[in-house]
Chains A and B, each alone.
Chain A
C-alpha cells in the first residue's frame, strides 16, 4: 500500500470542485465578454483576474494538502484573530464598493477579508467545540461559541455587507449536529415562517392563521399524549401574535426601504420590473429563456446585453441558466448537492471531533451560499448579495472556498492515519 496522499485523496470531490471551477471560468468569460475580450489570461478582464486567483488558489490548495493536519487545530485561534484584525482594519484601510467597505486594495487586486473570515471562523468554532469539556448545554461554552460567531458577524454588518454576515448562520448546522437543542430549530423555523406570513397577509388574517395552526397542533398532540396541558399552547399563541405585531412594526420602522422592497418583491406584493425588482426579473428572464439546452456559450442575449446587473458575481447562475439551459442549470445544482452531501458523509467518518465539526461547518457554509444565491437568481429569495461558491467572479471568494475545501480534503485524506 502506497502511503502517498495522492492515493488517499478523495478524487471525486476534487472532480466536482474542478467541474464547478471550470464551469465558473466559462461563465465569467461569457458574462463579461465584450469586443475587447482577448483571452482568458488578459489581466484587464475579469476573467483574467479570476484565472490569476485560480492559480493562486490551486497553489494554496496543494500547499494545504502538504501540511500536517494537526497544524490547523493549532492554527485555528491564531487564524481567527488574524481575520478579526483584518476585518477591523477595513474600517481604516478599506475600499468601498457599492456601499460596502469590504475590500483591501493590494496592487490592483481586491481582497475581501470577510471571505477568509469564514474559513477562520469554521476552524475556530471546531476548535472551541472540540475541547474536552465542551458541551453546548453548558451556558459558558454556548456563550463562547456565540461570541466567536457574533464578533465577525457584527464587524461585517458594520461594513454594510449584511449578505456576508448572514452566512455565519451556516454554523447552525454543525452546532445542531453537535447537539444544539431542537428548540433552536423550531424557534428558527417558526420565526422565519411567522415573519413571512405576517408580511404576506393582513394582520387579522395572520392572527386567524396562527390560531388555526396552534389549535390543530394542540388537538393532534392531545390525541397522541392525553397529558398535554393547554397552557404552553396559549402561551405560544400569545407570543406568536405579539411577534407578528412587532414584525409589522419592525418591518415598517426598523428596516430600510431597500430591504422592504426586496422582500416585498419576493412576496409578490410589489411588481416593479424597472426599479428594485429589475435584477431579479431579468435574472428570471435569462434563466427562463434558456429552455432545455440553453442558448449556447456566448449566445445568451441577456448575458451579452448586460441585462442582469452583477451577472458575473452574484447573478452568475443566470448565465448558466441562459446559456446552458435546464441541463446545465440542474447539473450545477446536482454538483453542489453532491459536494455538500459528500462532505457531510466524509465528516461523519471522522473520529476527530475537531475535523468533523470543521467539515460540517464547511458543508453548512457551502449550503447557505448555494441556497441564498441560487434561490435569489431563481426569484425565490430576496436579493441578498453573496457569491455562488467556485462560480462567481471574485478572487477572495474563490481562494477562501478553495482553502476551505482543501483543508477538508486534507482532513479526509489523513483520516486513517489518525486511527
Chain B
C-alpha cells in the first residue's frame, strides 16, 4: 500500500506546501505589490509652462525659450570622434569625456544629460549632425527668456532646486526649477502652477513600454498663471538708463493705487546672463562684486538717512500736534544755537524769517530744528512723551517697518523712540536738543527709498497710501487686485501747506532744475551726509543726492524717491532725474534733451573709486 500510493502522497504533500507558499506570498504579504510597482511603474512629471510676466500695459517682460539638452544612453554609444563632437557642442573634449563617464557610472541603460542647455542657435547645427553619434539625442527643455534686459532686480531669476529647497518643500524634485529672488520667487506658486503626474509602465531595462493601467492614476497638471505687473516698462527702462554709471535707486509709485511703476536699482545686470550654460559663472561674478553689489536692490534694501525730505513729515506732525501753524515763523541766522556752544548751520541768508512754506522751499534747518523740538517738548514735562508721539506718526507713514510689498527682500529702516534714547543716554539723560538731528532727517533715522517714495505718495494723497505692490492682476482676471488702504495719523487739512511748500521747492526753491512747463511738481531735495570706515576710521564720503517728488500737484499720478549715492547735493542728480522720470511718465516723451543728456552722460564712477584709492581724497567737489 505504501509503495503503491507513495507518489500520490508525495504529490499531495507538495501541492499542500505549494499552496501554502502561495498563501504566504500572495495573501499574507502585501509588500510584493509595492515591489512590483516599484519595479514596473515609472512616475514622470509633466510641467505646465512657467507663467509669463507682463508690465502694466501688457508688454512682455519674461517668457520662455527652448534650449536643448544633449542626452545619451551610454550602452548605445558606439565609438565616435570625441574631438569633433566637442567642437560641435563648443565644450572642451575633457569635459565631454568626463560627462560621459559620469553618465556611465549612473546607468548604462538610462539616459543622462551630457551637455545641458544648448542654445537654439547651436542646436540647429548639432541637430544636423547628431545622427552620426549613436546613443546621443537632443531633448527639448525650457528656460526663461527676457525680451528686454530690464528690471532684473524686480523679476529675480530661476534656477534648479538644491537639496535645501527639497527639504523645505517636498513638492520639488531634483532638476526642477524654482524662483529665486524677485517676482519669480514671491509668486513662485502662481508662475509655476503645479506639475501633473503620468505613470508609465517600464520593462526591466527601465524602458517605457506604455501607460500604466491606461493612465487612470495620472494627475493632470494645473496651469501656471501669467502675471501682469504694475511696472511701466518704458519708465523702468528710462530710469535704468538715467542711473547708468551711478549707484542708487529710483522708486516710483502711483499714489492712488500703491502700484509701483518702477523700481530701479543701479548698478544692475542683464537678466539674460542668469539663463543657460553660463549661469553659475555669471552668478558668481555678480555675487562676488562686493563693491558695486549688483544683486543688492538699492530701492528696497539700502537704508539711508532720509535727509531733508524728511522735513515735510516733521512739518505735518507739528501741524497735527498743533505746535505750529502755517504762520509760525522762526528766524534763521545762517543757522542757530540749539544748545550752549552747539550751532546747527543752515543755507539761509543771515536774518531770514521763515514760515512753514519758506522753511520747506529753503530747506531751513533752523525752522525745522525749532519745530521738531516743539513736537518733542509739547507736554512741557517729558521729552519721552513727545518722542513717542512723533514715532507713532512716522509709523503711520510706513516708516520703521516693512511695507508689505510683494518682493522677498527688504529692510525695515529705523525710527527711534524714547526707549531707544533711554537705552543709549539713560533715562533723563537726553533732551530734545540731544536728538535734534532728527529734525533734518539725519541722526538715527534710517529709511529705504521705497519707504521714501511711499510717504511721498501719502503726502500726494493728502493722508493715506495703499500698500505698495508689484502685482496688478493674475492671468485673465479682468480686475486689478485690491490692496489695503492705510490712513496716516495726520488729518488731510494739514497737508495743503506742506504740499504748497513742496511745490515752491520746484517753483523757486532748491529744485528749480526739476521744473517742467505745464506740470505742477511738488518735491523736496536732500543732501545726506554719509560715512565709511576706512582703515578703522570713520571717514566722510561725498553726500548722497536725494529727491522726493510727486506730480501733478492736484490729482497726483506719480510719486517718487530718487537716491544717487555720493552724488552731492539733491538738485545735482536726484532732482533732475526725478523730473525727467515725471516728464517721461506723464507726457510719454522728454523734451529737455540738454538735461537728459547731462544725466545720461554723467558718471560717478570716479567718485566711487575714491575710498579705495588708498590715498586721502576730497569730498563734495
**Which residues of A pack against B, CB within 8 Å?**
173, 176-177, 179, 282, 284-292, 299, 301-302, 304-307, 309, 321-322, 325-326, 329-330, 333-334, 336-337, 340-341, 344-345, 348, 360, 363-364, 367, 370-371, 374-375, 378, 380
Query: Which segment, of B197-205, B248-256, B372-380, B500-508, faces chain A?
Result: B197-205
Chain A: CB-nearest residue to B34: A289
Chain A: CB-nearest residue to B205: A306
Name the B residues within 8 Å of A309 (CB-CB): 204
Complex Cα spacing A177 to B7, Å = 9
Known interface pairs A285-B32, A364-B7; 9 further A-B residue pairs with C-beta atoms within 8 A, sorted by A's residue number: A176-B6, A282-B204, A286-B36, A289-B36, A302-B40, A326-B22, A336-B15, A344-B7, A370-B11
Are A375 and B36 closer than 8 Å at their CB atoms?
no
Write the nearest CB–CB distance from A229 to chain B, whole angstroms: 26
Q: Which residue in A301, A307, A337, A380 is a CB contact (below 8 Å) of B212?
A: A301
Complex Cα spacing A341 to B11, Å = 7
Q: Which residue in B8, B26, B203 is a CB contact (below 8 Å) of A345?
A: B8
Complex Cα spacing A60 to B426, Å = 115
Are B12 and A307 closer than 8 Å at their CB atoms?
no
Name the B residues within 8 Å of A330 (CB-CB): 19, 22
Are B11 and A288 closer than 8 Å at their CB atoms?
no
- The answer to whether the Cβ of B476 comes within 8 Å of any Cβ in the partner chain is no
Are B5 and A307 closer than 8 Å at their CB atoms?
no
Q: Known contacts A333-B18, A341-B8, A344-B5; decide if A287 and B203 are in contact (CB<8 Å).
A: no
Are A321 and B204 closer than 8 Å at their CB atoms?
no
Write the nearest CB–CB distance from B42 to chain A, whole angstroms: 10
Name the A residues within 8 Å of B26 (CB-CB): 287-288, 290-292, 321, 325-326, 329
Q: Known contacts A173-B7, A305-B201; decide if A333 and B36 are in contact (CB<8 Å).
A: no
Are A306 and B33 closer than 8 Å at their CB atoms?
no
Contacts A/B (CB < 8 Å), 12 sampled: A176-B3, A285-B39, A288-B26, A289-B35, A304-B210, A305-B39, A307-B40, A334-B19, A337-B12, A340-B7, A378-B18, A380-B21
- The answer to whether the Cβ of B517 comes within 8 Å of any Cβ in the partner chain is no
Are B204 and A306 closer than 8 Å at their CB atoms?
yes
Complex Cα spacing A291 to B19, Å = 13
Greatest chain A CB density within 10 A among B11, B35, B203 is at: B11
- The answer to whether the Cβ of B209 comes within 8 Å of any Cβ in the partner chain is yes
Q: Known contacts A340-B7, A340-B8; decide if A333 and B39 are in contact (CB<8 Å).
A: no
Name the A residues within 8 Å of B204 (CB-CB): 282, 305-307, 309
Write the nearest CB–CB distance from A278 to chain B, whole angstroms: 9
- Chain A facing B: main interface SS: helix
Name the A residues within 8 Å of B5 (CB-CB): 344
Are B201 and A337 closer than 8 Å at their CB atoms?
no
Chain B: CB-nearest residue to A380: B21
Name the B residues within 8 Å of A326 (CB-CB): 22-23, 26-27
Complex Cα spacing A292 to B27, Å = 6
Are B29 and A334 closer than 8 Å at their CB atoms?
no
Name the B residues within 8 Å of A289 (CB-CB): 32-33, 35-37
Complex Cα spacing A239 to B201, Å = 55
Are B25 and A302 closer than 8 Å at their CB atoms?
no
**Which residues of B pack against A, CB within 8 Å?**
3-8, 10-12, 14-15, 17-19, 21-23, 25-27, 29, 31-33, 35-37, 39-41, 201-205, 209-210, 212-213
Name the A residues within 8 Å of B17 (CB-CB): 380
Write the nearest CB–CB distance from A248 to chain B, whole angstroms: 28
Greatest chain A CB density within 10 A among B8, B22, B40 is at: B22
Are A367 and B209 closer than 8 Å at their CB atoms?
no
Complex Cα spacing A173 to B36, Å = 39
Q: Known contacts A177-B7, A288-B32, A301-B39; decide if A306 and B21 are in contact (CB<8 Å).
A: no
Complex Cα spacing A367 to B9, Å = 11
Q: Known contacts A336-B15, A367-B10; decide if A301 and B40 are in contact (CB<8 Å).
A: yes
Write the nearest CB–CB distance from B518 to chain A, whole angstroms: 76
Write the nearest CB–CB distance from B41 to chain A, whole angstroms: 7
Are B6 and A173 closer than 8 Å at their CB atoms?
yes
Write the nearest CB–CB distance from B58 to chain A, whole angstroms: 48
Q: Which residue in A302, A305, A363 is a CB contact (below 8 Å) of B7?
A: A363
Are B6 and A291 closer than 8 Å at their CB atoms?
no
Name the B residues within 8 Å of A341 (CB-CB): 8, 11-12
Name the A residues within 8 Å of B10 (CB-CB): 367
Complex Cα spacing A47 to B17, Å = 31
Complex Cα spacing A8 to B122, Å = 81
Q: Known contacts A177-B6, A341-B11; decide if A305 and B209 are in contact (CB<8 Å).
A: yes
- Total number of residue pairs linking A and B with CB closer than 8 Å: 129
Instruction: List the 3 closest A-B pairs by CB distance, nearest first.
Output: A288-B32, A301-B40, A289-B36
Are B15 and A304 closer than 8 Å at their CB atoms?
no
Are B203 and A374 closer than 8 Å at their CB atoms?
no
Chain B: CB-nearest residue to A374: B18
Q: Which residue in A173, A290, A304, A322 is a CB contact (below 8 Å) of B201?
A: A304
Q: Known contacts A288-B32, A301-B201; decide if A375 and B18 are in contact (CB<8 Å).
A: yes
Complex Cα spacing A173 to B4, Å = 9
Q: Known contacts A288-B35, A301-B41; decide if A333 and B203 are in contact (CB<8 Å).
A: no
Name the B residues within 8 Å of A378 (CB-CB): 18, 21-22, 25
Complex Cα spacing A37 to B285, Å = 58
Complex Cα spacing A289 to B11, Å = 26
Are A179 and B3 closer than 8 Å at their CB atoms?
yes
Name the A residues within 8 Å of B205 (CB-CB): 306
Are A329 and B7 closer than 8 Å at their CB atoms?
no
Complex Cα spacing A341 to B4, Å = 11
Write the nearest CB–CB distance from A305 to chain B, whole angstroms: 4
Complex Cα spacing A73 to B38, Å = 56
Q: Which residue in B8, B23, B27, B37 is a CB contact (below 8 Å) of A301?
A: B37
Write the nearest CB–CB distance from B18 to chain A, whole angstroms: 5
Greatest chain B CB density within 10 A among A173, A289, A329 is at: A289
Name the B residues within 8 Å of A287 (CB-CB): 22, 25-26, 32
Name the B residues within 8 Å of A307 (CB-CB): 39-40, 203-204
Q: Known contacts A333-B22, A374-B18, A375-B18; decide if A305 and B3 are in contact (CB<8 Å).
A: no
Complex Cα spacing A322 to B210, Å = 19
Complex Cα spacing A327 to B30, Å = 16
Greatest chain A CB density within 10 A among B12, B36, B205, B212 is at: B36
Name the B residues within 8 Å of A304 (CB-CB): 40, 201, 203, 209-210
Complex Cα spacing A312 to B609, Å = 80
Name the A residues within 8 Å of B29 (CB-CB): 288
Are B39 and A367 closer than 8 Å at their CB atoms?
no
Name the A residues within 8 Å of B41 (CB-CB): 301
Are A367 and B14 closer than 8 Å at their CB atoms?
yes
Write the nearest CB–CB distance from B171 to chain A, whole angstroms: 27
Name the A residues within 8 Å of B33 (CB-CB): 288-289, 291
Complex Cα spacing A306 to B205, Å = 9
Write the nearest CB–CB distance from A243 to chain B, whole angstroms: 24
Write the nearest CB–CB distance from A338 to chain B, whole angstroms: 9
Complex Cα spacing A380 to B6, Å = 22
Name the B residues within 8 Å of A179 (CB-CB): 3
Name the B residues within 8 Å of A299 (CB-CB): 213
Name the A residues within 8 Å of B203 (CB-CB): 304-307
Chain B: CB-nearest residue to A278: B204
Complex Cα spacing A285 to B35, Å = 7
Write the nearest CB–CB distance from B116 to chain A, whole angstroms: 29
Complex Cα spacing A336 to B17, Å = 14
Complex Cα spacing A383 to B125, Å = 53
Chain A: CB-nearest residue to B203: A305
Greatest chain B CB density within 10 A among A173, A305, A336, A337 is at: A305
Write the nearest CB–CB distance from B44 to chain A, whole angstroms: 15
Are B7 and A333 closer than 8 Å at their CB atoms?
no
Write the nearest CB–CB distance from B16 to chain A, whole angstroms: 9
Complex Cα spacing A237 to B203, Å = 52
Write the nearest CB–CB distance from A135 to chain B, whole angstroms: 15
Complex Cα spacing A307 to B38, Å = 12
Are B27 and A333 closer than 8 Å at their CB atoms?
no
Complex Cα spacing A173 to B205, Å = 43
Write the nearest CB–CB distance from B7 to chain A, whole angstroms: 5
Chain A: CB-nearest residue to B32: A288
